Chain A
Amino acid sequence: MIHPHTELKFISSSVGHGVFATAFIPKGTFLWVLDPFDRILTADEVRALPPMLKTAVERWAYVDPTGHFVFCWDHGRYMNHSCRPTSRGIGDAFEIAVRDIQPGEELSCEYGILNIAKSFPCACGQPGCRGSVGPGDLERLFPIWDAEAQDAFQYAASVAQPLLPFVKAGPRDHAILEVLAKGSTEAELPSHRDYRREGVTDGTVEGEGLWAIAAAPARRPRATRRAGAAAR
């Protein structure tokens, strides 16, 4: 679930939509949490979808460490990538604001941790833009991302957290919730590196979409499938 003080806006035909703050959101606020209504789909379930829905999932879902597609029910799924994102991931279910966000500012996250199959060119325009975002970025940059998340978490108990009642905690999130319930932020956070799905290296997997890694292992060559259908 995306923070309530946000809205979906159309940016351009090349970028599509983005998520924008409608009010000031302070550093340390959870901007997004995984909730019970975010759809978790297996690669087989995605493959069985009608083509127009499959396209939607491939465009707007991300891939978690178990290879499942996570398709957010709300406009959280339209958050764009930035090389200097407004939030960092923590555990399985949180995105935390790593700086103050002003009304009208776009919310962004780091696609480098989302188990993407292939590199894509980035034109986020931020200082330090990597120009290209790829599966190998995580291994190189996780210490910086971890440090930003750890720093932001120090503020998590002293700001309003409207999303906390709605979180669906994963195995790595219970410790975070316990600490926050005590009004504390004394916790060693799980590393971004733990979010990596095994086998994700740039260029090794061919896919139809950005997130095709999860669907790849069970895919059969297209020609074979067509031939089978014709025989029937």
Chain B
Amino acid sequence: MIHPDTEVRRVDVVVGVGVFATALIPRGTLTWALDPLDQLLTPERLAPLGPQWDVWLDHHTYHDRVGNRVLCWDAGRSMNHSCRPTCGGSDLGFEVALVDIHPGEQLTNDYGTLHLEASEGFTCRCGAVECRGIVEPDGSAWERWLPELRAALAAMTTVPQPLAPLVTPAVLRAGRRAVGLPATERRRRLHAV
């Protein structure tokens, strides 16, 4: 589920829509959590689908680390790529704000971290100073954002967390371990509002 202080807005005819903050979302806020209404599409489930679904799958789903596709039920699936993303961590089962996201700013991911297939590279026009120009399958994308991700996770207990009920303590601990923080954080220390 995407953070409640967001809305989907049209960006332009090329990009389509994007997800924008409607209130300040401070660094360390859970911006998205994988939840029971999101659908894990295993290769077995996708096998019987005809080629008419190819464009749909490309447009609405992302690849997880272990070869499934994920279809988010809400605006989470409309998050765009940026070479300077405001959010990160999808492999953890949740995402956090890597920076303070101000009202009107877009929630974005580095698609390089989303396990693109070889055919799924694209020309980027995100406009960031760091823009790579072409976004391709990228084994090092995770490491690129690790310092920011670690700092954001370390700040999680200092900000309101409306999505806290959707992240189990085990998922949170595993996430902290994955970015190199002690796995001692407890969910009840997150301020659910």
Interface residues of A (CB under 8 A from B): 8, 36-37, 39, 48-53, 56-57, 71, 73, 165-166
- Do B52 and A53 have beta carbons less than 8 Å apart? no
Residues of chain B lying within 8 A (CB to CB) of residue A50:
35-36, 165-166
- Do A53 and B39 have beta carbons less than 8 Å apart? no
User: Is B73 an interface residue when CB atoms closer than 8 A count as contact?
Assistant: yes
- Do A73 and B50 have beta carbons less than 8 Å apart? no
A-B contact pairs, 18 of them (CB 8 A): A36-B49, A37-B71, A48-B36, A49-B36, A50-B166, A52-B1, A52-B165, A52-B166, A53-B1, A53-B35, A53-B166, A71-B73, A73-B39, A73-B73, A165-B50, A166-B52, A166-B53, A166-B56
Residues of chain A lying within 8 A (CB to CB) of residue B53:
166
Of A8, A39, A56, A165, which contacts B8 at CB under 8 A? A8
- In the assembly, what is the distance between CA of A47 and CA of B190, in Å? 25
* Chain B residue nearest in CB terms to A49: B36
B window 16-47: CB within 8 A of A: 35-37, 39
> Secondary structure at chain A's binding surface: helix, strand, loop or mixed?
mixed
- Do A49 and B71 have beta carbons less than 8 Å apart? no
- In the assembly, what is the distance between CA of A57 and CA of B53, in Å? 25
- In the assembly, what is the distance between CA of A37 and CA of B60, in Å? 11
Residues of chain B lying within 8 A (CB to CB) of residue A36:
49
Residues of chain A lying within 8 A (CB to CB) of residue B36:
48-50, 53
Residues of chain B lying within 8 A (CB to CB) of residue A73:
39, 71, 73
Q: Given A49-B36, A50-B35, A50-B36, A39–B165 Cβ distance below 8 Å? A: no
Residues of chain B lying within 8 A (CB to CB) of residue A8:
8
Of B1, B37, B39, B52, which contacts A165 at CB under 8 A? B52
Minimum distance in angstroms from B35 CB to a CB of chain A? 6
- Do A37 and B39 have beta carbons less than 8 Å apart? yes
* Chain A residue nearest in CB terms to B10: A7
- In the assembly, what is the distance between CA of A166 and CA of B49, in Å? 9
Which of B8, B37, B50, B74 gathers the greatest number of chain A CB atoms within 10 Å? Answer: B37
- In the assembly, what is the distance between CA of A36 and CA of B37, in Å? 14
Interface string of B117-149 (1 = CB under 8 A from A): 000000000000000000000000000000000
A-B residue pairs, 5 tightest by C-beta: A165-B52, A50-B165, A53-B37, A49-B36, A53-B35
- In the assembly, what is the distance between CA of A50 and CA of B74, in Å? 15
Residues of chain B lying within 8 A (CB to CB) of residue A49:
36-37
Q: Given A39-B73, A52-B165, A71-B73, A57–B37 Cβ distance below 8 Å? A: yes
- Do B165 and A51 have beta carbons less than 8 Å apart? yes
* Chain B residue nearest in CB terms to A36: B49
- In the assembly, what is the distance between CA of A49 and CA of B36, in Å? 7
- In the assembly, what is the distance between CA of A37 and CA of B61, in Å? 12
Minimum distance in angstroms from B31 CB to a CB of chain A? 15
- In the assembly, what is the distance between CA of A37 and CA of B57, in Å? 11
Residues of chain B lying within 8 A (CB to CB) of residue A71:
37, 73
B window 49-107: CB within 8 A of A: 49-50, 52-53, 56, 71, 73-74
- In the assembly, what is the distance between CA of A32 and CA of B153, in Å? 42
Residues of chain A lying within 8 A (CB to CB) of residue B1:
52-53
Of B37, B49, B166, which contacts A39 at CB under 8 A? B37
Interface string of B140-166 (1 = CB under 8 A from A): 000000000000000000000000011
